[in-house]
Amino acid sequence: MPKATNLIEAYNNFVVEPLKTEEEFKDFYVERPKNAPSPIEELKDRIENADSAKKYLFLGFRGCGKSTELNRLSRMIDRNRFLIVSYSIRELDVSDFDFRDFFGSMALKIYDIAEKEIKLEANIKDDFLDFMMHVTKVSEEDVTKYRGMGISFSNFILLKLGREAKTREYIRKELETKISDLIQKLNWLTMEVETKTEKRIVVIVDDLDKLTRVKQAEDFFYKNYGLLIQPKCFVIYTFPIPLTFNPYYENVRPAFDDDIILPQLPVKSKDGKRLNEENINFYKGIVEKRMDLDLIEENALEEAIVSTGKTSEFISIMRDAAIKAYRGEKGGITKEEVGKALEKLRRTYDRTLTEAHKKRLLEIYDKKEARDDNIDDSTSRDLLFSLTAVEYEDEEGRWCDINPLLMPLVEKWKKA
């Protein structure tokens, strides 16, 4: 995709989606600053040199670039030694998501790669198919019908899991007492594939950080972590950073082989008095890769950078400002369009905040840390989960602040 030379091309280049293809990486990928490099290269080395299948937590805020980095990992791992199973839980229903849905989908994904890579032993194949058809209440006639339409068994069941509440109800009821059976069958498939291909399976599970509620995410990880480490293949689980603020995290973390963080890049120092030029240049690089810098005034670009809290938010602001400038029949983006785009997003955040949220945000702003009063208080975790508060990491260590987008509201909150 060529660099944009006009506002409409810029609008189309600033899409809030992970980079996936070789062309997208070539045209748009920007190396992270040396003071906060991507941890993906190290994760690749850990996997390629591990003596057994490990489980990893990949931490980061929504929109910080985790999916793009995981797509990089998929491309970097030695395909002569590893088989990559990469998928997003958004293929299911993230608003109604359960650990049993997850293990069903994971088993289906491994079955899918087994079908593509090897000839499965009949007893293993038949046992798995019979089991999945039983727990989802799918008939042989249904499978045959959809196979005739070019839809594989795995994709057919995944479609039903994602779209049909009744299918989710069936599988959850059946797996209430049979989840260990499913994981055992998943492991048989894994062993069969790895033995016959002489390659090891790496499962990358993306978008677990996009579960829609804090409790939903906490239940998935904290109640089921003992199950999450049972698959006998490498697994990388995306993990919402806000959950690390729950004291229970320290009980769960040692069960996994490592927790790897993609830190959010602050554009100002902890005291807010100094700009972090290296991180600002990272954001400028994102713009320079996607459009001619002549299409935006320098002060407008700086305003967009210092006013946003994460990569996807910044790209969204640039996209909105580009279409606003086009509609205003301007030759480029000015501070006016950036200001309007920022205010639109700011109002979206602001209307979700209760008085208790605002009070806690002012505490985070003053203390630069986000702590709940007790284990039953989840206010800070809610704010981190909604991205109205953000954790940063730099030479001053880890610290929290309110989303830069909300800074103009601080004085108003103090007076309320």
Indicate if 241 and 274 belong to the same structural domain: no
Is the pLDDT confidence value at 21 over 80?
yes
Domain end position, chosen among 196, 228, 261 = 261
CB 150 within 8 A of CB 144: no
Indicate if 295 and 384 belong to the same structural domain: yes
Q: What CA–CA distance (Å, rounded) separates 239 from 234?
A: 16
Residue 274 belongs to domain spanning:
1-16+265-416
Indicate if 222 and 136 belong to the same structural domain: yes
Is the pLDDT confidence value at 416 over 90?
no
Indicate if 342 and 315 belong to the same structural domain: yes
What does the pLDDT read at residue 217?
Answer: 86
pLDDT interval class at 90 (50, 70, 90): confident
Q: What CA–CA distance (Å, rounded) separates 242 from 213?
A: 11
Q: Count of H helices and E strands in the chain?
A: 20, 7
pLDDT interval class at 322 (50, 70, 90): very high
What does the pLDDT read at residue 198?
Answer: 97
Average pLDDT rounded to a whole number, residues 282-294: 97
Q: What CA–CA distance (Å, rounded) separates 192 from 189?
A: 5
What does the pLDDT read at residue 48?
Answer: 98
What does the pLDDT read at residue 171?
Answer: 93
Indicate if 291 and 361 belong to the same structural domain: yes
Domain end position, chosen among 213, 236, 261 = 261
What does the pLDDT read at residue 377?
Answer: 82
What does the pLDDT read at residue 343?
Answer: 96
What does the pLDDT read at residue 103?
Answer: 95
Indicate if 256 and 280 belong to the same structural domain: no
> Does residue 414 lie within any of the structural domains?
yes
| Parallel/antiparallel/unpaired status of strands 397-402 and 389-394 | antiparallel
pLDDT in tens, 215-254: 888 889 999 999 999 999 999 999 988 888 888 899 899 9
Residue 119: count of CB within 10 angstroms of its CB = 10
Q: State the sign of the Cα–Cα–Cα–Cα dihedral 243, 247, 253, 259.
A: positive
> Does residue 183 lie within any of the structural domains?
yes
Any idea what DSSP says for residue 228? H
CATH number for 254:
3.40.50.300
pLDDT in tens, 116-173: 999 999 999 999 999 999 999 988 888 888 888 888 899 999 988 888 999 999 999 9
Indicate if 190 and 278 belong to the same structural domain: no
Between 397 and 146, where is the model more confident?
397
Is the pLDDT confidence value at 376 over 80?
no
pLDDT interval class at 75 (50, 70, 90): very high
> Does residue 286 lie within any of the structural domains?
yes
Q: What CA–CA distance (Å, rounded) separates 294 from 280?
A: 18
What does the pLDDT read at residue 109?
Answer: 95
Q: What CA–CA distance (Å, rounded) separates 349 from 198?
A: 50
CB 128 within 8 A of CB 107: yes
Q: What percent of the chain has pLDDT over 70?
A: 100
Which residues are CB-neighbours of 204 under 8 A, at least 6 positions away? 70, 73, 74, 84, 85, 86, 87, 236
pLDDT in tens, 178-226: 999 999 999 999 999 999 999 999 999 999 888 767 788 888 999 999 9
> Does residue 80 lie within any of the structural domains?
yes
What does the pLDDT read at residue 213?
Answer: 73
Domain count, the chain: 2
Q: What percent of the chain has pLDDT over 90?
A: 75
Indicate if 342 and 233 belong to the same structural domain: no
> Does residue 30 lie within any of the structural domains?
no
Average pLDDT rounded to a whole number, residues 352-375: 92
What does the pLDDT read at residue 317?
Answer: 97
CA max distance for the chain: 72
Indicate if 168 and 281 belong to the same structural domain: no
> Does residue 368 lie within any of the structural domains?
yes
Which residues are CB-neighbours of 301 under 8 A, at least 6 positions away? 284, 287, 293, 333, 338
CB 9 within 8 A of CB 291: yes
Place of tokens 């800070």: 380
> Does residue 220 lie within any of the structural domains?
yes
Report the chain's mean pLDDT, rounded to a whole number: 93
